[in-house]
Homo-oligomer: A and B are copies of this chain.
Amino acid sequence: MSPTTDAAVSPLMADGGADAAETEAATKNLVFIAAERLFALHGFQNVSVRDITAAAGVNLASVNYHFGSKDALLFEIFRRRTAELNRERARMLHEANDRHQGKPPVREVLAALLTPPLRWLAPDHERRISLQFLIRARSEGTDDIRQVLKTDVSHLRRFSDALLSARPDLSPEEVYWRLHFTLGMLHNNRFAEFDRLNVLSEGTTSEADVVALLARMLAFAEAGFATR
């Protein structure tokens, strides 16, 4: 009866699938996409199952049929997007390792951490809304999501390890704190924060230029890591 067990959503990205996926008209994907968008824009609690199914143009019962519950839907979106983002980060870290005989400098480790999410932030990127979803889910998430965040920790550890060996002169706790600060900079990139920044700067800042933003953020974080 209920296909809440996975293996559905079949043709959605074989692995590192690029774009053109998710265009299948299957109801499950329509729900997935609509829910991700609405959650990202308005928050989990402010979006009802009726909102989602109406936006997706499908029947009310679809969410419970295909995902089991509203919570499970949120969880699956979060799980899939997190895995996708972390895959890109891991690949960049791996490449940095290859380039520097397993001991990449701080800048390259930070680049591997920050570049994928900031790429997603580009106005024309297909994952722009996914990044907003992830940022929001991180702070508003349910209990289920904290379980995924523990997996996320084991992923993060690869970056903290790389930073530790790039700066063996620093105490480990100092490195952990600086990583924490860097992640704070990253997770602050919500639409609402950009709005406030735009008001403050009277429109001179534009988050649309994500290449410039990445360069600025990398320079800031690298300088923060370089002290003492």
Residues of A whose CB lies within 8 Å of any CB of B are: 43, 45-46, 136, 139-140, 146, 149-150, 152-153, 156-157, 160, 172-174, 176-181, 183-190, 192-193, 196-197, 199-201, 204-205, 213, 216-217, 219-221, 223-224, 226-228
Contacts and interface: CB of A to CB of B under 8 A. Distances in A.
A176 B205 contact: yes
Contacts of A179: 200
Contacts of A196: 149, 152-153
B199 A153 contact: yes
A173 B201 contact: yes
Contacts of A45: 43, 45-46
Contact of A200 (B156, B201, B216): B156
Contacts of A226: 223
Closest 4 CB pairs of A and B: A184-B188, A220-B224, A45-B45, A176-B201
A220 B227 contact: yes
Contact of A173 (B174, B190, B205): B205
Contacts of A223: 223-224, 226-227
30 contacts: A45-B45, A139-B190, A140-B140, A146-B192, A153-B199, A153-B200, A172-B201, A172-B204, A173-B204, A173-B205, A176-B200, A176-B201, A176-B205, A177-B205, A177-B220, A178-B216, A180-B193, A180-B197, A180-B205, A181-B216, A181-B217, A184-B184, A184-B186, A184-B187, A185-B185, A185-B188, A219-B228, A220-B224, A223-B224, A223-B226
A170 to B, nearest CB: 11
Contacts of A193: 180, 183-184
A185 B226 CA distance: 17
